[in-house]
Amino acid sequence: MLVVLDSEALAALSFPRERARTGRRAQAVLVAVERLGGRACVPAPVIAEVARSASRRPGVDRVLRRLPVVDTDRAIATLAGNLLGRNRLDSRHAIDALVASTALGSSPAVVLTGDPDDFMRLIGDDPGVLVQPLP
């Protein structure tokens, strides 16, 4: 199983002092998945949302040394566009749609997120993707 991190999950792991409870929850989910033989990843566009300044990059880099970054290819981008269109969402939701598309393309998968409502809307009733909210 693949765990796909959204921006809130990456931020929680990257800045544990700022987001103590959420960071502990995110770390616990990753440990459980690894024990079950799963893996986690970060879609490349998520980095753009989280690493917006030089002061934030060391925390993000620390997490990315442990987790692979998934590139956004044409198939993922096209699926994200379809999800936005189907749900009548504008480009403000593009990164969420790219995260959802990464998970849908890697089913079975879990999206670890601070925005469960957004992801449940994007993913719909696909049984291969679970949305796991962070506190």
What value does the mean pLDDT of the chain take?
93
**In which residue are the tokens 């849908």 written?**
104
Q: What is the pLDDT of residue 99?
A: 98
How do residues 6-51 score in pLDDT, each as one tens digit? 999 999 999 988 877 888 888 888 888 888 889 999 999 999 999 9
User: Does residue 131 contact residue 5 with C-beta atoms inside 8 Å?
Assistant: no
Owning domain of residue 42: 2-133
Looking at the DSSP bridge assignments, the partners of residue 32 are: none
Q: Domain containing 26 — which CATH number?
A: 3.40.50.1010
Instruction: Please tell me the pTM assigned to this model.
Output: 0.93
| 98 class by beta-carbon count within 10 Å (0-12 exposed, 13-18 middle, 19+ buried) | buried
The total number of structural domains that make up the chain: 1
Q: What is the pLDDT of residue 26?
A: 86
